[in-house]
Structure 1
Amino acid sequence: MKIILNTIIMLVLFVGILNAQTFFVNQNIDRSQEPKPGKLFSMELPKIERAKLKNGLNILIVEHRELPVVQLQLVIKTGAEGDPKGKAGLANLTADMLDEGTKKRSALQIADDLDFIGASVSTSANFDGSLGSLLTLKEHLSSAMDIFSDIILNPKFPQSEFDRLKNELLTDLLAQKVRPDIIATNIFNQKLFGSEHPYSQNLDGNEESVSNINIEDVKIFYHTYYSPNNASLIVVGDITKNEAIKMAEKYFGKWKKKDVVLPIVKKPEGESEPRIYIVHKEDAPQSQIRVGNIGIERNNTDFHAVNILNQILGASNGRLFLNLREAKGYTYGAYAYFAMMRYPGPFLAYAGVKTDVTDSSIIEFMKEINRVRDELVPEDEFEMYKTAVIQRLPRVFETPAQIAGQLMAIELFNLPEDYFSTLIEKYKRITREDIRYIANKYLHPEIITIVVVGDKNAIKEKIERLGYGRVIICDEKGKE
C-alpha cells in the first residue's frame, strides 16, 4: 500500500516538472544575454471553506481533486515561544513524543498501522506553533484518522521513548558545538535578541536546556497548550466540506477545550549600537560571518515589499551572491533572509569566507546593505527580481501539502481572509521607490550586529580598523 502512495506522490512531482517544462519549451534562449523579466500573470487560487466545532476547533477545507489523497494538518498555535526559561527545546521534544506511543498503541504499532494503509504522519514544532500532519489515500481516510487522532489526543509519553529521543537530541547538539556556521548563527541570535527572548534560542535548545527537560515538562506543555480552542485543522484534497466537517466531528469532537493562557513575548528591541563579536577558532581556514538586525513580523503589511527586497539582496542570484562570490571570489555563496514569525525575527546576511578576506567581506556586506538603502534599484534589475517572486507563487499551491502549508500561515499569523486572492496585485503595485523606503525602514547599519567565528589572531586587528562598531571577543557560548 505504501508503494501506491509513493507512486501518487511521484506523479504529483512529475506533473509539476511537466508544467515547468511546458513553460520553457520552444523558447529561443540566448544564453549570452541576461534573462529579461517574464510577463506578469494572474493565477487561480483554491477556494477556502471554513467551519468550527463546538469545542472551538477551527476547520479550513480546500477541495483539491487531482489525486485521490487527503492532506491534514493540525496546528497548535503555540510553539517554542512557550518554552519555559532554561528549557529551550521543550516544544520540539513534546511534538516529537506524540507518535512515540498512545494509550492503545505502541510506537511500533503506530508505524505498522500507518505502513499497512500507506499513510504517513509527522509531528514537529517551530517558534509559532506545534504541528501534526497526515497524508493518506482517500479510501483509507477513516483508518488513518483513527491513528492520527489517537496520536494527537491520547499520547502516553513513555519514559523509555523520551529518554531515547532526549539522548539522540543531546548527541546532535554535541555535534553542532564544533560547527562554526551553527555557532555563528546561535551567537548572532543570542546577541541580537537577548537571553530573555525565545528567538535567542535554538529551536532544538542547547545541551544545558535539553538536559533540564524531563518527562513531566513534556506532559505539562502538552496539557497547557494542546487544546481545540488553541488549534486549527486544515483539510486539503479529495474531500468535500461536509465530509471534512463530519470527519472532524467524529475524531476531534470530543476533545475537551480548556482555558489556554498564551505566553507573553515582548517585542524584541535589538542592539542599541553597532557591535562586532568575534569567536576565536584557532587556525580556522574560514571565517563564518553573520550580519543583521531585527526585521519584521509575518503579518506586517510590508511583507510583500520585504520579500522583493530580500530577493534583490539575498537570493542565489542576488547582489550579495553576485558580489562576494561571482565578482570577488571570497566565498562559495553569500545570502540573506528575513525570518518573519509572529514577532519580528532577524534580518540575517551570511557567508563563510576565506580567512584572509574576512574584513574585505564585511566591507562588501555593508556596501550592499547601504547601496540598496541609498540608491534606487535599476528598472531592469527591479523588474527581474519582482517577476521572479510573482512567478514562483503558483508553485506553492500545486500539491495538497503545499496548500495546507499556506493555510497554516493564515491561522498562525492571523492573516486576512482575502490574503491569497490579493497576493499578486499587492506584489504588482510595489515600486522601486517602495524598495528603497523599505530598505531604510528595516536595514539598520547604524545599529548592526556582526558575528564572526574565525581565527582572531588573523582577523581581529583588520576588523577593528574597519570602524563599524565596538569589537568584542566571546567564547562559543557567547560569554564575553
Structure 2
Amino acid sequence: MQTDKKSNVNLMNQSRERMMKRFTSLVVLILCAGLATVHAQKRYDELNFPELNEFQRPEVETFTLENGIKVFLVEDDELPLIDLSVNIRTGGVLVPNEKAGLASITGSVIRSGGSENYPADTLNKILENRAASMETGIGFTSGGASMNVLKEDFSELLPIFVDLLQNPALPQEKIELEKKQVKSSISRRNDNQQQIGSREFERLIYGEDSVYGRLTEYETVDNITREDLVNFHGDHFVGANMMVGVVGDFDADQIKKQLSNAFSSIEAGQKTALDFPEIDYEFNRTINLVDKPDVNQSYVLMGHIGGLRSNPDYPKVQVMNEVLSGGFSGRLFQVVRTDLGLAYAVFGSYEMNTFYPGQFYTGVMTKSSTTAEAIDAIIEQIKRLQEEPIQPEELRDVKDQFLNSMVFRYDSYEEVLSRRLSNEYRELPPDAFEEFIEGVRNTTIEDVQKMAQKYLKPDSMQILVVGNKQEIGDQLEKYGTVNEIDISIPQPGQDGAGEEVAGDAQKGRALLDKMSDAIIAPDQQLDSVTVEAEVTQFGSNVPGGSMTVQVTQTVDYPDAITQTVETPNGTITLNYEGGKGTMSMMGQERPLPPQQAQSLRESLNRKYLAVALNSDELNPRFIGMEEVEGTQYAKLSIKINDKNITYLVDPESGYPGIMRYQQFNPQEGSQVHVEERYSNWQTVNGISYAYSETTFSDGEKAAESVIKSHEVH
C-alpha cells in the first residue's frame, strides 16, 4: 500500500513536470511571436488563428440502486483521483419560520460532528493522513455532500463517507459551536452595504414574513434543539432523496459493485415533497430607504418579481437581459457608467428560478448626491429597450459574447457531471443546456423588444436605497412616500429592561446629586478628559486567556471619543462622534460598524462622568441598601438609553463603588449581566476618576483597568 502511494505521488509529480515544460515552451513561443510583431505589425483582421480543439463531452452512465439512489458515472483517467458528490432532496424551504437556520446548521454539524463510528477527531485525522476531504451542507432548495480522494484510498474511505451520511453523531458541543457561529454572523449582517441591499430587496419582493424573505434571528437559532437536527436528518437523508455522481479514475464495473455495497445500507424512505409556497405579488411602485450613516454613497436596487425556468421564453429573456445589463457591453454600463459617469458599478439580472419565481433587478452604486439621477437614468434605459428595436450589430455582439461565455459551463468532466445532476434534480431534460443555446441563437431583434415589453415594468418597480439619509436629502420624495426600513437586529431577553423601576424619587435625587458633586466639583466645568490606562482582558476568546494593552482615550462631551490602543499587532485608532466613527490600523481606515458605534454611545452615556454631567436630565430612584463585601451601599436606579442602570453609591463619600447593567452579547446571542467595580479614586482639577476598575460578565472576570493618569480639559 505504501509503495503504491509513492508511485502515485511520483506519477502526479511527473505530470506536473510535463505541464511545466509545456508552459515554458508556450511562453517561449509567445515571446518569439511578440518579437516578430515588432518587425511586421498586422491588422487584427489579417491574423490567422488555428481552430480550437473541440471539447469531447464524456458519456454519463447511470444506474439505480434498489433503495432508490440514482448513480451517475463519468470516467476520467487523467489523474489518480476520484470525486464523489451526493445531491439530497431537502432544503431550508422545509423549515418553519420559528426555526429558521435549522437546515444550514444540520448540514454543517453532520460533517463537523463526525459519525457514531468515526467521531470528529478520528475522522479528521483519517482524512488528513490521506489528503482527502469530505464535506456536507444544506442550502435553501437542496442539500449536498462530497468526497475527494486518491484512487487508491477510495475503497477504504467510501464506507466511512456513507457512515457519515447515514449515522451522523450530531454532538451537542458541535451544535452549540455552530449556533454560536451563526449568531456571530447575525451580529455582523448590517455591516456591509451591499449585503443589506440584497437582503432587504428580497424581502420587498417576496414579503418579509414569507419563507423566501425571512431572516435567521437569534431567537430562531435558540429555538433549535438537537432533536430537531436528528429529525431533519432522518426525514431527508434517505435513498429516495439521493443522487450520487462519481467522476475520476476508476473501472466502471468495479465501482458499481463498491457503490452498491456501500450505499445499499441506506434506508429507501419516502421521497421528500419540496413545498414552495406561491407568491402573492402585486406590481406597484414603492420607494424605500435604509439609512446607513457611515457611508458616503448610495447602493440602489430596483425591480420586481421575476419568472420561472420552465417558461418557454427563458432564452429570449436572457438575451434581453444581456442587452440591458450584460457586463461591459450592456446598455446600463455603457450609458449610466461610461457616458453619464453616474456609477461606480451598475448591474442587473432577470432571474428565472426553477422552484419559485426569481427577481428582476437593476442596481447601481453612486454618489449620495446623484442617487435620483442614477435611478432616472436606469429607468430611461429600460423604457428605451421597450420602445426602440435594438440594432443588428448590437444583437450580434451580445449573442457572440453570451455564447462564447457559455463554453466555460462545460469545460471539464466534473462540470459535465455537475450539470447533469443539477438538471436531474430540477427535473430538466438532460439536453436542457443545448436547448437553451439553440434558443439564444434563434432570438431576433423583435424578440428582444417583445420580451422587454412583456416582462419589464419600469413604472411599477420597487426601489430600495441603502445610503446616508442626511446626504441624500429629499431626492427620493419625487418617487412617492419614502418608507424607511428598520434593520435593527432583534435582541432576545430584553423583556422589562426599560420598564420604570419603583423607588423613592426624592431620595434618589438627593443621592444622585451627592454622587455628581463627588465626581465633578460643583464649581468645576468639564468639557473633555484624557485617560491613560493599562487594560487586561480575560476570557476564552482571548489568546492565552488574557491580554494586556495600553489605552489612551479622550472623551469630548457630550458625544465624541478618540481612542488609541497599542496591541502586539500594532496601533489601533478609533474615532467616534455623533453616532458614527472610523477605525484605523497600519495606515488603513474603515468605517466603524453601526453596532460597535452604538455600543460606544451606550458605554459613554452610562459612565459615571456622563451621568454626573447630565444629572439634571435624569430621573433617579432610590431602591434600597445593599451590603457588598462588608460595605453598605445605597442603590440608585437610572434609565439611560431606555435601559435601567443601577449604581451602588457609598452614602458617606458619594463615590459609586459598583455599576450594574444588562447588555446584549452579539457573539453569544444572549443578554449578559455586567458589573463594573470602582476603587482608588483620584482627583485632578476637581474631577475625580476611579484608578482601578474591574469588569465582570455573568460573574466571570472580563477585564481589569489600571489608570495611570487623567487630564481634565
TM-score scaled by structure 2? 0.59
Cα deviation code 1:281-338 (max 9, x no counterpart) = 2363111211121112334433333333333333331222333332333333111234
Displacement after TM superposition at 1:70 (Å):
2.0
Q: Which amino acid aligns with 2:235?
A: T
Instruction: Classify the secondary structure of the residue corresponding to 2:57.
Output: coil
Displacement after TM superposition at 1:188 (Å):
0.8
- Equivalent-residue separation in structure 2 for 1:439 and 1:198 (angstroms): 29
Tell me if structure 1 keeps the 8 A contact 2:290–2:466: yes
Q: Which residue of 2 aligns with 1:331?
A: 343
Displacement after TM superposition at 1:266 (Å):
2.2
- Equivalent-residue separation in structure 1 for 2:122 and 2:284 (angstroms): 56
1:415 to 428, 440, 457: 428
Displacement after TM superposition at 1:236 (Å):
2.0
Q: Which amino acid aligns with 1:222?
A: H
Structure 2 residue 211 is matched with structure 1 residue 198: yes
Q: Which amino acid aligns with 1:217?
A: D
Structure 2 residue 247 is matched with structure 1 residue 236: yes
Tell me if structure 2 keeps the 8 A contact 1:99–1:110: no
Instruction: Classify the secondary structure of the residue corresponding to 2:147.
Output: strand
Q: Which residue of 2 aligns with 1:215?
A: 226
Closer, same or farther: CA 62–209 of 1 in aligned 2, 3 Å: same
Structure 2 residue 145 is matched with structure 1 residue 132: yes
Structure number, greater radius of gyration: 2
Structure 2 residue 261 is matched with structure 1 residue 250: yes
Instruction: Classify the secondary structure of the residue corresponding to 2:98.
Output: coil
Closer, same or farther: CA 143–266 of 1 in aligned 2, 3 Å: same
Q: Which residue of 1 aligns with 2:80?
A: 68
- Equivalent-residue separation in structure 2 for 1:331 and 1:278 (angstroms): 19
Instruction: Classify the secondary structure of the residue corresponding to 1:176.
Output: coil
Tell me if structure 1 keeps the 8 A contact 2:62–2:70: yes
Alignment map for 1:45-444 (pairs within 5 Å): 45-100=57-112, 101-201=114-214, 205-282=216-293, 284-317=295-328, 318-339=330-351, 340-444=353-457
Tell me if structure 2 keeps the 8 A contact 1:227–1:258: yes
Cα deviation code 1:362-417 (max 9, x no counterpart) = 11221222223333232222222212222223322233442333123212211113
Q: Which amino acid aligns with 2:390?
A: V
Closer, same or farther: CA 429–324 of 1 in aligned 2, 3 Å: same
Displacement after TM superposition at 1:53 (Å):
0.9
- Equivalent-residue separation in structure 2 for 1:30 and 1:314 (angstroms): 34
Displacement after TM superposition at 1:445 (Å):
1.9
TM-score scaled by structure 1? 0.86
Q: Which amino acid aligns with 1:71?
A: D
Tell me if structure 2 keeps the 8 A contact 1:117–1:144: no
- Equivalent-residue separation in structure 2 for 1:427 and 1:41 (angstroms): 23
Displacement after TM superposition at 1:434 (Å):
2.2
Cα deviation code 1:185-210 (max 9, x no counterpart) = 111111110134322135xx344433
Structure 2 residue 478 is matched with structure 1 residue 476: no
Deviates more, 1:151-160 or 1:294-303: 294-303
Closer, same or farther: CA 192–374 of 1 in aligned 2, 3 Å: same
Q: Which residue of 1 aligns with 2:594?
A: none
Instruction: Classify the secondary structure of the residue corresponding to 1:182.
Output: helix
Deviates more, 1:262-271 or 1:167-176: 262-271
Q: Which residue of 1 aligns with 2:465?
A: 452
Q: Which amino acid aligns with 2:486?
A: D
Deviates more, 1:368-377 or 1:132-141: 368-377
Deviates more, 1:432-441 or 1:384-393: 432-441
Instruction: Classify the secondary structure of the residue corresponding to 1:134.
Output: strand
Displacement after TM superposition at 1:74 (Å):
0.5
- Equivalent-residue separation in structure 2 for 1:274 and 1:354 (angstroms): 23
Deviates more, 1:281-290 or 1:223-232: 281-290
Tell me if structure 2 keeps the 8 A contact 1:187–1:478: no
Tell me if structure 1 keeps the 8 A contact 2:60–2:417: no
Aligned length: 463
Closer, same or farther: CA 221–50 of 1 in aligned 2, 3 Å: same
Deviates more, 1:83-92 or 1:42-51: 42-51
Q: Which amino acid aligns with 2:174?
A: E
- Equivalent-residue separation in structure 1 for 2:489 and 2:461 (angstroms): 17
Cα deviation code 1:104-146 (max 9, x no counterpart) = 1122222221222222222223322001112222222212312
- Equivalent-residue separation in structure 1 for 2:453 and 2:115 (angstroms): 52
Which structure is higher in strand share?
2
- Equivalent-residue separation in structure 1 for 2:422 and 2:470 (angstroms): 46
Cα-Cα RMSD: 3.4
Q: Which amino acid aligns with 1:277?
A: N
Displacement after TM superposition at 1:103 (Å):
0.3
Displacement after TM superposition at 1:97 (Å):
1.1
Instruction: Classify the secondary structure of the residue corresponding to 2:96.
Output: coil
Instruction: Classify the secondary structure of the residue corresponding to 1:440.
Output: helix
- Equivalent-residue separation in structure 1 for 2:53 and 2:486 (angstroms): 51
Closer, same or farther: CA 154–192 of 1 in aligned 2, 3 Å: same
Closer, same or farther: CA 268–111 of 1 in aligned 2, 3 Å: same
Displacement after TM superposition at 1:254 (Å):
1.6
Instruction: Classify the secondary structure of the residue corresponding to 1:199.
Output: coil
- Equivalent-residue separation in structure 1 for 2:42 and 2:458 (angstroms): 39
Which structure is higher in helix share?
1
Instruction: Classify the secondary structure of the residue corresponding to 2:83.
Output: strand
Cα deviation code 1:172-196 (max 9, x no counterpart) = 2211222222121111111110134
Instruction: Classify the secondary structure of the residue corresponding to 1:98.
Output: helix
Instruction: Classify the secondary structure of the residue corresponding to 1:66.
Output: coil
Unaligned runs of 5+ in 2: 46-50, 491-713
Deviates more, 1:250-259 or 1:56-65: 56-65
- Identical aligned residues as a percent: 26
Q: Which amino acid aligns with 2:224?
A: I
Unaligned runs of 5+ in 1: 34-38
Q: Which residue of 2 aligns with 1:36?
A: none
Tell me if structure 2 keeps the 8 A contact 1:192–1:293: yes
Closer, same or farther: CA 89–407 of 1 in aligned 2, 3 Å: farther
Instruction: Classify the secondary structure of the residue corresponding to 2:308.
Output: coil
Deviates more, 1:121-130 or 1:434-443: 434-443
Displacement after TM superposition at 1:265 (Å):
1.7
Displacement after TM superposition at 1:49 (Å):
2.0
Displacement after TM superposition at 1:256 (Å):
0.6
